[in-house]
Amino acid sequence: MTNLTELNLHQALSGLAAGDFTSTELTQSYLNSIEAQNTNLNAYLVVTGDKALEMARASDARRAVGNVGALEGIPLGIKDLFCTKGVRTTAASKILGEFAPEYESSVTTNLWRDGAVMLGKLNLDEFAMGSSNETSAFGNVVNPWKRKGSNVALTPGGSSGGSAAAVAAHMCLGATATDTGGSIRQPAAFTGTVGIKPTYGRCSRYGIVAFASSLDQAGPIARNVKDSAIMLQSMMGHDVKDSTSLNVAVPDLVAAMANGVKGMKIGIPKEYRVDGMPEEIESLWQQGIAWLKGAGAEIVDISLPHTKYALPAYYIVAPAEASSNLARYDGMRFGARVDGNDLTDTYEKTRATGFGEEVKRRILIGTYVLSAGYYDAYYLRAQKVRARILEDFTNAWTKCDAILTPTAPSAAFGLGEKSDDPIKMYLNDVFTVTANLAGLPAISIPAALDVDGLPLGLQIIGKALDEETIYSVASVMEQAANFSARP
C-alpha cells in the first residue's frame, strides 16, 4: 500500500467506500506516521494504538454490512481537553494526574457515532491557556513547519497546537480542537491548516474540560475546507446535557461550499490594522479582498469601533470564569494531590504543584477581578464591553454578510520568543477574541506563505448560526489561494 496518509479526509472516505483499503490499513498508516514523527513534534500525549485498531476493525465490520457513518473509518486525533472514557485525559496539566474519565464528551461521542476512529490524545497549552503550546505540562509541541533555511523550532500556536501540528504533519486526518480566544484559528494559521470555531452553542461543551465556559467552543482542525465541513457537521448538534447548547438543525456545510460569493457583501473592518503588523499580512489581506472581488463579491468598508477593547475585556472575562472553573482541581476527589499539614496546606501544596505558571497567573487575575471592590471596575465593565462588541457586529451585519480579516498578526514565531512576556503573547489573539466575545462563527484558512516560507491565514467571521456563508466564502478563497505548500 502506498502512503495512505497522503490522502485527505474526503479522499480517504472515497477510498474506503471504493474498497481500495480498509480503515484498519488506514489507521495503521497513521499510527506509523505518529510513530515516526511524534518524538520530534510532541503532538500526541497519548497514542491509543490498540483502541484505534480495535475501532478501525469495528468500522470495517460495519462497512461490510453497509452500516456506514459520515466519518466511517476515519482516524482522528482528539485534543486532550475532551474527556474520553477510560482514556487518560490531562488538559496538559499535572493536576489531573492519572485521571481517566468514566464518561465521554458529547463531541467525541458524535464522532464515534459517525464511525470515526481515535488515534490518541493531542497536546495543548495547559487547560487551553496559551497561544504557543509552551504552557503544556508535558512539553511544547513543535511546528512541523520551519523557516526557509533555518532549523529554529517554531511554535504551532496554541492552545490547540497539538491538533494543528498533527493535522499539518499528517499524523491524523483531522483533529478536534477548542477555541476560547483563538485557540483553533491561530494554530491553524500557523500550520497551514483550516480551523473553524462555530457559533457558540453549536458544539456541546459536555465533557470538555472547561476553561472559560461562556467563550469555549469546540471545532475541527482539518487539511482543507471540505474536510473541515465534514468533521464539523458531525461534531455539532443540540445536546440536552449542555444548557448553552443551541436547539437548531445542523446545516449541510459541504453543500454550502458550492454556493459561491456572487452578490455577497464582504466587510473589511478598518480597526483590524494594528501597529507593527508585518506588511506581508496587510498585503495578504488585500490579496484576499481581490480574490473575493474577483469571484463576484462586493467589498464594503465597515467599522467595529470597540475592537481595541476586546483583548483587555477577554483577559478579564476568561480568567474570571477560569478561576472558578478550576476550583474543582483541589486534590480531593481525583487527580494529583500533595498532602499538607492541614486542609488549607493541602489545597495550597496541591494547587501550587499541580498548576503551571500561566494557569496560576490567570487564576490570580480571575480571582482578583471578581473580588469585592474590583468586580464593578473589571468584570462588570468587561461584560459591558462584551455587549458593545456584539453590538458592533450586529451593526456590521446591516452592511455585510461576512467579514474578512487576517487570523493572526504574525506567522509562527520561535519557541521561547514570547514566553517571558505574557502581554506580547496575549496580543496574538487580537484578531480572534472578538468572535469568541460575540459568540460568532469564524474560520481560518491558509492563504499564502510569508517571506520565510511560513503559512499565513485569513479569517472569515460570519453571522451567528451562519456557518453556511462562512463555508461558501472559505471555499472560494481556498480555490483562489490554491494553497498546496507542505511543511
Partner 1 sequence: MTQTSVPAYTAFKTARPDQWVKSVTGDWEIIVGMEVHAQVSAKSKLFSGASAAYGGDPNSHVAMVDAGMPGMLPVINKFVVEQAVKTGLGLGAKINLWSRFDRKNYFYPDLPQGYQISQYLYPIIGEGSLEVASEDGSMIMVGIERIHLEQDAGKSIHDLDPNSTYVDLNRSGCALMEIVSKPDIRSADEAANYFKNLRALVRYLETCDGNMDEGSMRADVNVSVRRPGGELGTRCEIKNVNSTKFVGMAVNYEARRQIEILEDGGTIDQETRLFDVKTGQTRTMRSKEDAHDYRYFPDPDLLPLILDEAWVENIRANLPELPAAMKARFQSQYGLSAYDADVLVADKDFAVFYEEVAKGRDAKIANSWMTVELFGWLNKNGKELSQSPISAAALGGLVGLITDGTINGKIAKDVFSKMIESGDEAAVIVDREGLKQTTDTGAIEASIDALMATNPEKVAEAREKPKMLGWWVGQVMKATGGKANPAIVNEILKGKLGIE
**Cβ proximity to partner 1, 63 vs 351, nearer residue:** 351
- Whether the bond between 29 and the residue before it is cis, its omega within 30 degrees of 0, is no
Of 478, 407, 412, 397, whose CA–CA distance to 443 is shortest?
407
CB of 261 to partner 1, least distance (A): 34
- What DSSP state is assigned to residue 184? T
Q: Indicate which residue of 23, 79, 163, 234 is catalytic.
A: 79
Q: Does the annotation count 324 as an active-site position?
A: no
Output the smallest distance, CB 334 to partner 1, in A.
7
How many whole angstroms separate alpha carbon 71 and alpha carbon 10?
A: 9
Q: How far apart are CA 472 and CA 202, in angstroms?
A: 18
CB of 372 to partner 1, least distance (A): 4
DSSP state of 429: G
The residue assigned the cell 494547587 is 351
**Minimum CB distance to partner 1 smaller for 41 or for 435:** 435
What is the C-alpha separation between 379 and 216, in angstroms, rounded? 18
For partner 1, give the closer residue by CB, 83 or 443: 83
Spot the catalytic one: 105, 183, 323, 419. 183
Minimum distance from residue 340 beta carbon to partner 1 (Å): 13
- Bridge partners of 87, per DSSP, are 84
Q: Give the closest residue to 217 by CA, choosing from 181, 243, 165, 191.
A: 181
Pull the grid cell for residue 353: 504543584
Residue 411 is classified by DSSP as S
Between 226 and 362, CB nearer to partner 1? 362
Distance of CA 6 to the CA centre of its chain: 23
Q: Which is nearer to partner 1, 320 or 425 (CB)?
A: 320
Least CB distance to partner 1 at residue 399 (A): 30
Residues lying near partner 1 in the complex (CB under 8 A): 82-83, 89, 91, 96, 99, 101-103, 105, 205-210, 212-214, 240-244, 320-321, 323-324, 326-328, 330, 332-334, 343, 347, 367, 370-373, 375-376, 379-380
Cβ atoms 70, 114 nearer than 8 A: yes
Bridge partners, residue 195, by sequence: 221, 444
Cβ nearer to partner 1, comparing 259 with 367: 367
Residue 457 CB, nearest distance to partner 1 (Å)? 28
Which of 283/371 has CB closer to partner 1? Answer: 371
**Is 159 in the active site?**
yes
Rounded to the nearest whole angstrom, what is the least distance from the CB of residue 436 to partner 1 in the complex? 12
Catalytic annotation on 79? Answer: yes
- Cell 457537521 -> residue: 233
Helix extents (H) in 439-485: 467-481
Helical pair 357-370 and 310-325, crossing angle rounded to 10 deg: 100
* The three grid cell numbers given for residue 429, joined into one nine-digit string: 489573539
Dig out the grid coordinates for 410 from the structure: 504574525
- Which residues belong to the active site? 79, 159, 183
